[in-house]
Each structure stands twice: as C-alpha cells, then as structure tokens.
Amino acid sequence: MKQLYLTSFSFISGIIIFGGLIAPILELKLGLGGTSYEDFIRNMYLPLQLSQVDPIVASFSGGAVGVISALMLVEVKNVRQQEKNRCTYCHGTGYLPCARCSASKMLLGTKRFSLSTTERCSNCSGAGKVMCPTCLCTGMAMASEHDPRIDPFD
C-alpha cells in the first residue's frame, strides 16, 4: 500500500514540476516553439494575467493528475478488497510455520551417549514452512468448488 502511494505521489509530483517549472521555462525563457504564449496574449490585447498559465500545459497537468488520482483510488479499493479475502490462518501467504521444527528448518536429534546432532526437518524438508490446509496454499479466505486443484473425480 505504501509503495502504491509513493508511486502515485512521484508521478503527480513529476507532472506538477513539469507543468509548473520546466514547460514555462522552455517556452517563455528560451522561446522554443516560435511565438511564446505571452506574445500571443499581448497581440490579442487580452489581460496579461492570462499569460502566466499556458492552457495546454495546465490542461495536460491537471488532466494527468486527475487520471492518476482516479487510478490510485481504484487500486486502493482493490487492495483493501483483497485484504478482506485473505486467509485468516496464513495471512495470505499460503504457508504456515512448520510446527515440528518451529520454522527453524533444523531438528536437534540426540544419539546415544548424549551426543546431539542437527538434521534437516523431514516434515517441511528444511523449508521452515508447510502448506496451509485451510486455503490450499492460495492465500484466499476459502477455496471454492471451482478451484482446479479440488477435482471431485480424483
């Protein structure tokens, strides 16, 4: 969720910086593109306050910010909806910590004469985690009858 907010904020900031600083400097200071917007306003005998904002840059920046904000809100809603559908046991990961080795991936075995050895856990094969039986490793709250892994003809 934080990454989504950070990405959206960086896009919006970039557009605002482009629309507020870079585009006016390129157009008004360097005179790129022929007649500047300020010259056009002056030649049309319009108030010079209109020359402070280029309508093309303003519409591009405003439109882009609006679209990015709308997309961000849709994604936030989707993420929150998916969080509600997560499995309560594995918290959406699809795996549970191995109970035999306590997720340490190794077992402490004792041999004769009190020598202790470590060996790989045979329950989780040294992974430290096992498949969640509640969600069948999907991470979703409940596997439905339409799940291809649940074949009634097996």
Say which CATH number the domain at 114 has: 2.10.230
- 130, β-bridge pairs: 96
Do 107 and 125 fall into the same domain?
Answer: yes
Do 79 and 138 fall into the same domain?
Answer: no
pLDDT score of 130: 94
Q: Which residue has the tokens 């709308």?
A: 70
Do 74 and 136 fall into the same domain?
Answer: no
Do 35 and 72 fall into the same domain?
Answer: yes
Q: Is residue 14 part of a domain?
A: yes
End-to-end CA distance of the chain: 40
Alpha carbon distance 119, 122 (integer Å): 9
Domain range spanning residue 97? 87-143
Do 54 and 33 fall into the same domain?
Answer: yes
Q: pLDDT tens digit string along 30-58?
A: 455 566 667 777 777 888 777 676 666 67
Give the domain-ending residue among 84, 110, 125. Answer: 84
Mean pLDDT of the chain: 77
Residue 97 has pLDDT above 90, yes or no: yes
Do 10 and 80 fall into the same domain?
Answer: yes
Tally of domains within the chain: 2
Q: pLDDT tens digit string along 110-127?
A: 666 666 778 888 889 889
Q: Which of 15-19, 83-87, 93-97, 110-114 comes out lowest in average pLDDT?
A: 110-114
